[in-house]
Chain A
């Protein structure tokens, strides 16, 4: 942590706060009936998106999942257009056609999130392949849950990406549950990072609730990819505070498990670090929280005030 500039650390913390505030806001807006469909919230996993994306440039790209709000914020999708998209409004980042599970903004390097499990893994390799052809030193980063590593396409792609030495980084967010299915019921192994060995790429595991640890590990992986030294797999162990989707009461979780993880809340860990290192005061934290809160109030006002798309807009955008 000593060798990470203060601005970088504050930037990561601010990003985490913004994600938390955004998701908290969405949670209540959903209950209040502003959001159609369903939502998959990211509270608890903020350190991953924030820590990884702090290493990325605007011309780097990411792929995301059915749980994409945190990745979108961390990659720089403006909170207003993000929220409007989740509302299904015409001012949304996908004009209301994508919705919560498909947010993205290519201007900041995020194609629409892919809600088919593992669907983004090969797409990221393809984007990295293009960068390689084009001799750009941009990097593709793919986020996915531990459940996705049991899809065939994960294995197919890691082999190919390694063989072709692609500038891609695979970020596995291990939050213990694939929807309701605990990792012990879906894996014989306990260390998912070992799967990288089978494809000849480095695999590492970090505490996914420790944003500084995530940042540092991702920095290495991103620098390696950018330098033309090939892909890697980084497993971030974390926990989602809420259910899989809005209707999930988490009855499959053992009693007390969530409470244990709440003690390891990534925001608390980060705040304590910043306070101890005297990089930020309690007042400074309060001010940053208020700023994030204010931003998300404004985002929700923007989304509420935005018009719905005209029905005929359904006919647009099919063909290039």
Chain B
């Protein structure tokens, strides 16, 4: 299978959906001439023109609201918010309008829109450009939340998100854009709400998403040499969450570790862990362990940043604790 980078996979997904459906259009800051802060929309302005690839002013709230309104009237907007850290500026429109518009009108409207954004640490950009804030959105019923870890998932999930009739918050990771991986040819669509077993194992289940899946896979490789067989589940879609795939795995391994880059307190790992306990308590041979960022803002200095976010060593440690 051909290998392409995560950013290219996203770019392909946008192009294919724009070809397929003339209602799909893009709007956001620096997405046209510049091609996006991380290059995802490169070449699209040239190909589709300024009516379908709209460079906007720095107005996140208006970008989001405009996407909602256009979606309500039949368009399929894909809005880009450059960093998830800037979502604070868009939260009212997203959480009070997009998430609720259908429900509050008794199902009369739909708002089929995608909010693409990116998050995560690793580039030492400091506390305003490095956060993982997915749990802001998972706490709002009515929003779907997607966080792909591989190029294939990035492409397939973005296509599914654009086709979905609900508002989807699609969070990419800044350290993944250049990561390459196999991506199937053709109309590759990955359904929302379906987790993926990225590595089969029998001793312990590590549940993760986004970049931390890759960290977990590295940890699994090291643990394999020590005779520990780790199953790695990539939830891919946080909302709706495919708890069945997670629980089936825990029923097999009887041990669970949840790993993500967001802070521990209030992070989505708490939700996953609790659902494991609710659904598979009798199968657990030990406490569910969490690996997450320390509860502080992401500091700038590389040594501090690396200390705060999860590493393969912290996953290895948690796996061993889960097995103890």
Which residues in A have some Cβ–Cβ distance to B below 8 Å?
36-38, 66, 85, 88-90, 94, 96-102, 114-118, 147-148, 150-153, 178-181, 185-187, 248, 251-252, 308-315, 318
The reply to whether A309 and B58 contact each other, CB–CB distance below 8 Å, is no
> What are 26 A-B pairs at a CB distance below 8 A?
A37-B125, A37-B126, A38-B123, A38-B125, A88-B303, A96-B299, A96-B300, A97-B297, A99-B125, A100-B126, A115-B128, A116-B86, A116-B128, A118-B58, A150-B57, A150-B59, A180-B33, A181-B30, A181-B34, A187-B57, A252-B34, A309-B301, A309-B304, A311-B304, A314-B296, A318-B295
Residues of B within 8 A of A (CB): 29-30, 33-34, 37, 55-62, 85-86, 88-89, 123-129, 294-297, 299-304, 306-308
Q: Is the CB of A318 within 8 A of B301?
A: no
**B29 to A178, Cβ gap below 8 A?**
yes
Q: Are B29 and A101 in contact (CB under 8 A)?
A: no
Q: Are A88 and B58 in contact (CB under 8 A)?
A: no
| Contact partners of B301 in chain A: CB under 8 A | 36, 88-90, 96-97, 99, 308-309
B300 contacts across to A, CB distance below 8 A: 36-37, 85, 88, 94, 96-100, 102
Identify the 8 closest CB pairs spanning chains A and B, nearest first. A99-B300, A88-B301, A96-B301, A180-B34, A150-B57, A311-B307, A186-B57, A37-B124
Nearest Cβ distance between residue B88 and chain A, in whole angstroms?
Answer: 7
Taken together as a complex, chains A and B put the C-alpha atoms of A150 and B56 apart, in Å, by: 10
Tell me if B's interface is mostly helix, strand, loop or mixed. Answer: loop
A117-B56 Cα distance, complex, nearest whole Å: 14
A318 neighbours in B (Cβ, 8 Å): 295-297
| CB <8 Å contact, B126 and A101 | yes
Query: A309 — which chain B residues lie within 8 A by C-beta?
Result: 301, 303-304
Contact of B126 among A99, A180, A252, A315 (CB under 8 A): A99
Among the listed A102, A147, A248, A313, which residue makes an inter-chain contact with B58, where contact means beta carbons less than 8 Å apart?
A147
CA distance A152 to B88 in the complex (A): 12
CA of A248 to CA of B88, assembled, Å: 25
Interchain CA distance A102-B126 in the complex, whole Å: 8
A183 smallest CB distance to B (angstroms): 10
A179 to B127, CA, bound (A): 20
CB distance from B58 to the nearest CB of A (A): 4
CB distance from B96 to the nearest CB of A (A): 15
CA A89 – CA B129 in complex, angstroms? 19
CB contacts (< 8 Å) of A185 on chain B: these are 55
